[in-house]
Chain A
Amino acid sequence: MSAIIVSGLVSGALYALIASGLSLVWGALGVFNFAHGVLLMAGAYVAWWLSSPDGLGLGLPVAILATLVFLIAAGAILFFLLVRPWVGKPNAELAVIMTTIAGSIFTQNLVLEVFGGRYKTIDQVVSGTIWIGGTAIAAQNLLCIVLAPVLLVGMWILLTRTRTGLAIRAVAENQDVAQLFGIGVQRIYLVTFAASAVLAGLAGILLGGLFNISPDMGTDPLLRAFVVVVFGGLGSLPGTIVGAYSVGMIEAFASYYIGIYWTPVVLFLVLIAVLVIRPTGLFGRAS
């Protein structure tokens, strides 16, 4: 039982990291970034390449710091190439879905070409097993469980206490008013994309310590992240977090009691039930 809860908490933590970035971008720009999963994958590959003896062999701490810098740049490049030319134009939502899917396919194949198809693993950030109340928890799992809430609380503090964070929320709520306050909307878009890329990439690094890394490792988490943001309510950060842990727990319990093949079915049944009762998701607002 406690093992199931631990597994649910780990998935929930990772989904929360992935989905909150997706939700942040959706809130500020009104577009869905389908390349979000690729950012996760890119984070994992760059961290692997920098840290592994088969790559540059810089060791994990240096590699993680350098990866964070890379992710900020990757988020910015993604925004300038695939999103900025369409934002504010008619049908931006659809155009960005297409450009980011195209960008994903291109990047996945580029990674396949450069790094080859063999699965790789990143060193675990922390190794070993820790016993808590009679339950054995892999240290990396515990790290996920602890780190995600810390990052999310940090993000919440940034969004409520800092000039740029408040500006991100203002842009999400009312762009005209934000502009009339003197907020440079394009700069806020850029910051939002960079922050979202960092969250996705960190999730990638953590995932890379738990599972193999491969060019399509971001696809499944992205799908789950979509379920999470719809479940929790689009554009609501608390909703996204509650949604992430709910999806993580549902998956953990369903795969234990019903089996792994029926888990997505259960997940989507719950999602459908929630949307029938609350069409805007758990914490969503009518737009």
Chain B
Amino acid sequence: MLLQADQIRAGYGRVQVLHGVSIEVDQKPVGLFGPNGHGKTTLLRTLSGLIAPSAGRILYSGSDISGKKPQAIVEAGLVHVPQGSTLLPRMSVLEALTLGAYTRRAWARRRETVEQVFALFPRLAERRHQRCNTLSGGERQMAAIGAGLMGRPALLMLDEPTLGLAPKVRLDLVRTIQEIAATGVGLLVVDQDIDMLLGLCGRLYLIEQGRVTLDVRDPREIQHQEVLRRYFGSGA
């Protein structure tokens, strides 16, 4: 098991957002979906160490990482690509990607990795000297995922990678995410696009009100309609 989160409770100050979430990630990509503001992003922030869980245990590659600093977690190969992908607005694409390889493990191989990222996202190679804030929405997302890959992750966590993208751009990006999964990198993807998640993932979790309310172990057997019904309630 790559990642095992067990009964995670976490939040911001006195506001608890996660009320005992348990998920598992293995080699196949795992998807998280659910309404906004119900704890998906908070879960990723807890897994990557930005927030310390108040209870529960996170096992990554067999060792307990709960309460560790982001630095140690990234160094271990668990990399979180945050939502919004604003990344580093006034730095160039190449600088941002280089920083993605900040860990000692990744830094030595950064030139080799950046070529792999450019092969995956040829657009980034063209834009390498442009500032991140001049990129289009799709390119920003590519840069954010590319920077995540620069850390040579064993498990990559993507927070709403297709948010706000035009259909064509979204399709291309999803294809590239599938390519990334095919290279053997573990994926934990938060997204609203359930069709995309159904196509990509081997397991889906529905997160509502800080809890896992549905665990879809085999997406092939679940009908889209059923997910929608669960997602939006029986009235939909």
Contact B71 A179 (CB under 8 A): yes
Q: With the chains together, A285 CA to B90 CA distance in Å?
A: 10
Chain B interface (Cβ < 8 Å from any Cβ of A): 48-50, 69-71, 74-75, 79-82, 86-91, 95, 98-100, 102-103, 107, 147, 151
Whether A177 is near chain B, meaning CB under 8 Å from some CB there, is: yes
Q: When the two chains form the complex, which single residue of A170, A176, A285 contacts B99, counting CB atoms closer than 8 Å? A: A170
CA–CA, A224 to B88, complex, Å? 30
A163, CB-defined interface residue at 8 Å: yes
B100 to chain A, nearest CB (A): 6
A120 in the interface, Cβ–Cβ < 8 Å?
A: no
| Interface range for A | 10 to 19
In the complex, which of the residues A160, A167, A177, A178 has the most CB atoms of chain B within 10 Å of its own CB atom? A177
Contact of B74 among A166, A176, A181, A285 (CB under 8 A): A181
- CB contacts under 8 Å to B, within A128-184, are 160, 163, 166-167, 169-170, 173-174, 176-184
Task: List 4 tightest A-B contacts by C-beta distance, closest first.
Answer: A182-B74, A182-B103, A179-B70, A181-B102
Cβ contacts under 8 Å, B86 to chain A:
174, 177
User: Is there an interface contact between B88 and A170, defined as CB atoms closer than 8 Å?
Assistant: yes
A160 to B90 CA separation, bound complex (whole angstroms): 12
| A198 CB to nearest chain B CB (Å) | 24
> Given A163-B107, A176-B82, A183 and B71 touching (CB < 8 A)?
yes
- The CA of A177 and the CA of B98, in the complex, are separated in Å by 13
Given contacts A180-B79, A182-B103, 18 further A-B contacts (CB under 8 A): A166-B98, A167-B102, A169-B88, A169-B95, A170-B88, A173-B90, A174-B87, A174-B89, A176-B82, A178-B99, A179-B70, A179-B71, A180-B48, A180-B80, A181-B100, A181-B102, A181-B151, A183-B99
List B contacts of A178 (CB < 8 A): 99
Shortest CB–CB separation between residue A41 and chain B, in angstroms? Answer: 33
Number of A-B residue pairs having CB atoms within 8 Å of each other in the complex? 64
Over the window 192-214 of chain A, the binary record of Cβ atoms lying under 8 Å from chain B Cβ atoms (1 yes, 0 no) is 00000000000000000000000
- 21 A-B pairs with CB atoms under 8 Å apart are A163-B102, A166-B91, A166-B98, A166-B99, A166-B102, A169-B88, A169-B90, A174-B87, A177-B82, A177-B87, A177-B88, A179-B50, A179-B70, A180-B50, A180-B70, A180-B80, A181-B103, A182-B74, A182-B102, A182-B151, A183-B71
Q: Write out the residue numbers on chain A whose beta carbons fall within 8 Å of the beta carbon of B89.
A: 173-174
- The CA-CA distance from A180 to B70 in the complex, in Å, is 6
**A182 touching B71, Cβ below 8 Å:** yes
- Rounded to whole Å, the gap between the CB of B56 and the closest CB of chain A is 21
Q: How far is the CB of B146 from chain A (nearest CB, A)?
A: 12
Residues of B within 8 A of A184 (CB): 69, 71
Distance between Cα atoms of A179 and B74 in the complex (Å): 9
Are B80 and A174 neighbours in the complex by a CB distance under 8 Å?
A: no
In the complex, how many angstroms separate the beta carbon of A127 from the nearest chain B beta carbon?
Answer: 43
Distance between Cα atoms of A179 and B151 in the complex (Å): 12
In the bound complex, residues from chain A placing their C-beta under 8 Å from that of B81 are 180
Whether the pair A170, B79 counts as a contact (CB closer than 8 A) is no
Residue of B nearest to A236 (CB): B90
Provided the pairs A179-B71, A181-B147, A183-B102 are in contact, do residues A173 and B50 lie with their beta carbons within 8 angstroms?
Answer: no
The chain A residue sitting closest to B73, CB to CB, is A182
The minimal Cβ–Cβ distance linking B148 to chain A, given in whole angstroms, is 8
Report B79 CB to chain A, min CB distance, Å. 7
Identify which of A160, A169, A176 contacts B50 (C-beta below 8 A): A176
